[in-house]
Structures are given as C-alpha cells and as structure tokens.
Amino acid sequence: MARDAATLNGDAPNDAPALPHRVTIVGHGVPTSFEITVDGTIEAADATGTAVVSEHAAEGAIEAGTARFRFSGDMANARVLDRSEPQSPTIHVEYGAH
C-alpha cells in the first residue's frame, strides 16, 4: 500500500522554543564590559545590542539600559569586567522564560 509523502506545516506552533532561557544585563550608569558563556547556543534577543555574539558566548559593553540574550543549555559563566562597586551591572538569568 502506497502512502502520501509527509509534509511539514511551517505555520504549526512549536511548544519547545529552541532558546528557552533568558539573561538580561542591566546597566547602572557606569561603562562596564561583560562576558557570558553558555554550554548551549546563545543569541541577542534585542536588535539594539552592541554585543559580539558567537555560538556559545556573548561579550560587549553596557553603560545604561539593558542587553538581553536568549540561550539553550546552562549558563557556564557570567563575568563583569571593569566593575566599580556599587555601580556594576545587574545580571538576571531566567530559566524557562518563554
């Protein structure tokens, strides 16, 4: 018995997002560099970011505002460089934040 070829519906919803986690860096008025490394994949979540993003890492600088990234896997490292207490950026990690 012959079967029809399977077709993929491109409009079908995907219940499991490819990058289910989110990390947000909040600047507090002092220029600061940051590095984030994950054991999965990471990408910028907002188009206004000035970070350099590779498959497993993101690095950039922030003074004020926020920089957001979505990622899969686990957070391996989050590092703030040039920090000046108490003005250093705040890093928020949300697992499963769709």
What is the per-residue pLDDT across 63-74, written as a single tens digit (0 to 9) for each?
889 999 999 999
Provide the pLDDT for residue 51. Answer: 87
pLDDT confidence band for 9 (50 / 70 / 90): very low
Over the stretch 20-31, which tens digit does the pLDDT of each residue have?
999 999 988 888
CA quadruple 73, 76, 80, 86: dihedral positive or negative? positive
DSSP string, 24-49: EEEEEEEEEEEEEEESS-EEESSTT-
Q: Is the pLDDT of residue 37 over 90?
A: yes
Q: Is the pLDDT of residue 7 over 50?
A: no
What distance in Å separates the CA atoms of residue 21 and residue 41, rounded to the nearest whole number?
10
Q: Return the SS3 of 80.
A: strand
What distance in Å separates the CA atoms of residue 70 and residue 60, rounded to the nearest whole number?
15
Residue 26 in tokens: 């909040």
What distance in Å separates the CA atoms of residue 63 and residue 26, rounded to the nearest whole number?
8
Where in the chain are the domains? 33-94
Provide the pLDDT for residue 6. Answer: 45
Average pLDDT on 32-51 reads 86
